[in-house]
Homo-oligomer: A and B are copies of this chain.
C-alpha cells in the first residue's frame, strides 16, 4: 500500500485531500505543522509527501530541507502563491513538484502518480553477498572466512553488481558507474575484470554460479 503524508494547517483542506486519496486506495497520514510532519515522516517513512507551504511555525521550505537531509521521498508542494520566485525557492530546496491553489484534484492526483512512478530510491549502501565459499562485505571491503585480496576496480564492479541482486546490469551501466562517462565502449575492461573476479571468488571460474553473463545484455549477480 502506498503511504502519503499530507501536511496542511487548514483542517478542511486536509480533510478534502485525505478523502480523495483514501478513495484511491492510498494510505494517508496527516500533520498540521512542520515539526509534526518531520516526526511523522521519520517514524513512518511515507512514499510521497504533499506539503502546504503556508505553515505556522516552521516554514514549508525548511521542512523540505530538513527532510532532504536523510530522505529522498518525493515532495509535492501546495501553495497559494503563484510567483515564479516562490516556485524556484521551493523546487531548489528539494521539492519535486509545485502546484498552485486553487488546483484541480485530478491534476494533483496525476502529479502524485507521476512522482510515485519513478523508481523508489531507498537502496541501502553496502551489504554483503555470498559467492562460492566466500562472503564479501562491501562496507568493510573484506572477504571471509578466507581473506581474498581484490583490487579497487574489482571492488567497484562487485559493489554495482551486488547492489542489484538478481537483476541484470547493463555493460554500459557498469562502465558508466565504474569508469565514468566516456568509457561506455570499452567492453573489454569488463571481460578482463569479470574474469579476475570469477577466478578469485567463484568455486569453478569456468562455470560461474553467481557472477553470470547474459550474452548481448550485460552481467548479473545471482545470490
| A195–B79 CA distance with the chains assembled, in angstroms | 52
| A214–B140 CA distance with the chains assembled, in angstroms | 12
Q: Report if A29 contacts B (CB, 8 A).
A: no
Please tell me if the beta carbons of A95 and B114 are within 8 angstroms of each other in the complex: yes
With a cutoff of 8 Å between Cβ atoms, the chain B residues found around residue A170 in the complex are 123
Known: A92-B110, A107-B84, A107-B87. A141 touches B217 (CB 8 A): yes
Binds B, one of A11-19, A49-57, A149-157: A149-157
Please tell me if the beta carbons of B152 and A167 are within 8 angstroms of each other in the complex: no
Residue picked from A85, A91, A119, A167, most chain B C-beta under 10 Å? A91
| A114–B98 CA distance with the chains assembled, in angstroms | 10
Please tell me if the beta carbons of A216 and B152 are within 8 angstroms of each other in the complex: yes
Please tell me if the beta carbons of A217 and B168 are within 8 angstroms of each other in the complex: no
With a cutoff of 8 Å between Cβ atoms, the chain B residues found around residue A25 in the complex are none
Copies, count: 2
With a cutoff of 8 Å between Cβ atoms, the chain B residues found around residue A110 in the complex are 87-88, 91-92
With a cutoff of 8 Å between Cβ atoms, the chain B residues found around residue A91 in the complex are 107, 110-111, 113-114
Q: How many residues of A contact B (CB 8 A)?
A: 48
Q: Report if A40 contacts B (CB, 8 A).
A: no
| A95–B110 CA distance with the chains assembled, in angstroms | 10
Instruction: Pick the contact of A139: B85, B142, B167 (CB < 8 A).
Output: B167
Q: Mark A161-182, 1 if CB is under 8 A from B, else 0.
A: 0001011101001000000000
Q: Mark A93-124, 1 if CB is under 8 A from B, else 0.
A: 01111100000101101110111011101110
Known: A110-B91, A121-B119, A122-B173. A215 touches B142 (CB 8 A): no
Q: Report if A126 contacts B (CB, 8 A).
A: yes
Chain A residues engaging chain B, CB cutoff 8 angstroms: 72, 84-85, 87-88, 91-92, 94-98, 104, 106-107, 109-111, 113-115, 117-119, 121-123, 126, 137, 139-142, 149, 151-152, 155, 164, 166-168, 170, 173, 214-217, 220
A sample of 15 inter-chain contacts (CB < 8 A) reads: A84-B106, A84-B107, A87-B110, A88-B106, A88-B110, A91-B110, A96-B118, A97-B114, A118-B118, A119-B123, A123-B173, A141-B217, A142-B166, A151-B216, A152-B217
